[in-house]
């Protein structure tokens, strides 16, 4: 790769890059101006940090259609948020309905609880592209079904679940949504979709820094916290406070990261979520169209023109996907991800286990010219012996 060639980043499904300038500017300003320890003192720095947290909480609640911002809980990432929900909501004998497209952030806690709490797990069948049929859900529900866990958009194939239809078919079960790949790009409304627990991460489509995420809990629903400790409230008690969101937010919060996340949300508001979605959709469409013209390439996921995320997974003849990723990076300056993407269940569902796929995931800051460069690189690699 010539030194003058700028790198092309196509791993936005892992972490979006670059971030909007205002995210870094906000974080730089905060770390220079205040102590970032909210709720622990009554001095001006502590109060200013508290306002940062509260402002971000309000933005998140509004963004996801939650009428009460106290139902927003910040965690270090979506994995922690999902663990809080899964361990808190499930008891021995409960049954869980989920899909074959889930990330290990869901599957590993569920498999652990199968062994330790005796929960029962039903995996919904998926199409070859990773989609599920909402009409199939009532066929698997019974009185013991406590929880339905749905990955809104697959991090492997980009397949998108119809949450509105699923919410209408959940019966007496609770609906937990993993919005790691969809938050910031697709509309998500807790009340409209009947979502009881919504888990999100800050560092992907919300344009925030790593180390940020959280969940929203439907009004009237409670569960035990995963960790306990200092919250800055009810300090006279040696028992964990019961009020939201304090009961889930022990320890000094990531004020710096949450401030950056709030700046990312403000960027989305200013730019327009639909503008972001349409741009990513156009890039994914160009990628899919171009890949269809390269002999030996198989795309594993929904076709262009369908409701899908921007992540595109492919295999190329008998070539190793790890070798493909290495060649793209070393010789063309193109950063992609190869392997199982922490979702072995998804790869079993689409018959790409154990090798996995090469995943190309364009984001809002990618360009059409970059997509054409990626296609040209893959075409050249494919033609080489």
Residue 2: the pLDDT is: 42
Query: Are 57 and 84 in contact, with CB atoms under 8 Å apart?
Result: no
**Is residue 212 very low, low, confident or very high in pLDDT (cuts 50, 70, 90)?**
very high
- Rg, C-alpha atoms of the chain: 21
Domain-embedded: residue 2: no
Helix (H, G, I), strand (E, B) or coil at 36: coil
3 domain residue, yes or no = no
User: Is residue 119 domain-shared with residue 226, that is, in the same domain?
Assistant: yes
Average pLDDT, stretch 278-299? 97
Task: Verify that 258 and 293 share a domain, yes or no.
Answer: no
Among all chains, which residue has been given the structure tokens 């160009």? 286
- Residues contacting 3, CB < 8 A, separation 6+: none
Based on the fold, state whether residues 142 and 176 are members of the same structural domain: yes
- Of 220, 254, 270, the one marking the end of a domain is 270
What mean pLDDT is predicted for residues 336-348?
A: 96
Query: What does the pLDDT average to over 357-379?
Result: 98
Confidence of residue 236 (pLDDT cuts 50, 70, 90): confident
Same domain, 44 and 13: no
**DSSP code string of 259-298:** HHHHHHHHHHHHH-HHHHHHHHHHHHHHHHHHHTTSTTEE
- Could you identify the residue written with the tokens 């409701």? 307
Q: With contact defined as beta carbons under 8 Å apart, do 196 and 221 qualify?
A: yes
Q: Are residues 219 and 296 in the same domain?
A: no
Mean pLDDT calculated for residue range 196-209: 98
In the chain, what percentage of residues exceed pLDDT 90? Answer: 89
Q: What is the domain extent for residue 154?
A: 21-270
Last residue of some domain: 224, 249, 270? 270
Facing residues of 202 across strands? none
Question: Across residues 267-288, what is the average pLDDT?
Answer: 97
pTM above 0.85, yes or no: yes
Q: Tell whether 193 is covered by a domain.
A: yes
Q: What pLDDT sits at residue 4?
A: 56
How does pLDDT run across 315-324, given as a tens digit for each residue? 999 899 999 9
């Amino acid at each position: 790769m010539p030194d003058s060639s700028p790198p092309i980043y196509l791993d936005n499904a892992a972490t979006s890059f670059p971030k909007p300038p205002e995210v870094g500017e906000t974080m730089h300003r905060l770390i220079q101006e205040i102590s970032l320890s909210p709720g622990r003192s009554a001095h001006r720095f502590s109060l200013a940090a508290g306002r940062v947290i509260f402002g971000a909480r309000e933005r998140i609640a509004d963004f996801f259609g939650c009428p009460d911002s106290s139902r927003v809980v910040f965690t270090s990432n979506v994995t922690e948020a999902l663990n809080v929900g899964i361990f808190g909501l499930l008891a021995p004998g409960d049954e869980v309905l989920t899909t074959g497209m889930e990330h290990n952030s869901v599957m590993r806690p569920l498999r652990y609880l199968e062994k330790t709490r005796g929960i029962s797990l039903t995996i919904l069948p998926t199409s070859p592209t990773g989609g599920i049929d909402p009409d199939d859900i009532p066929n698997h529900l019974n009185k013991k079904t406590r929880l339905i866990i749905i990955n809104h958009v697959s991090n492997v194939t980009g397949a998108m679940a119809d949450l509105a239809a699923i919410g209408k078919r959940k019966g007496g079960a609770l609906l937990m949504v993993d919005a790691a790949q969809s938050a910031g790009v697709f509309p998500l409304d807790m009340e409209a979709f009947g979502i009881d627990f919504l888990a999100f991460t800050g560092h992907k489509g919300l344009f925030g820094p790593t180390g940020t995420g959280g969940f929203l809990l439907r009004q009237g629903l409670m569960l035990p916290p995963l960790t306990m400790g200092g919250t800055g409230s009810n300090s006279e008690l040696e028992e964990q406070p019961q009020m939201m969101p304090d009961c889930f937010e022990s320890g000094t919060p990531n004020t710096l990261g949450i401030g950056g996340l709030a700046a990312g949300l403000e960027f989305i508001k200013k730019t327009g979520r639909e503008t972001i979605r349409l741009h990513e959709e156009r890039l994914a469409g160009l990628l899919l169209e171009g890949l269809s013209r390269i002999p030996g390439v198989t795309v594993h996921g929904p076709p262009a023109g369908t409701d899908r995320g921007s992540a595109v997974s492919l295999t190329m003849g008998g070539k190793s996907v790890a070798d493909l990723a290495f060649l793209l990076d070393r010789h063309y300056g193109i950063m992609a991800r190869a392997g199982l993407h922490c979702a072995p269940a998804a790869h079993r569902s689409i018959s790409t286990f154990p090798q996995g796929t090469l995943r190309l995931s364009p984001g809002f800051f990618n360009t059409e010219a970059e997509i054409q460069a990626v296609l040209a690189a893959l075409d050249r690699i494919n033609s080489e012996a």
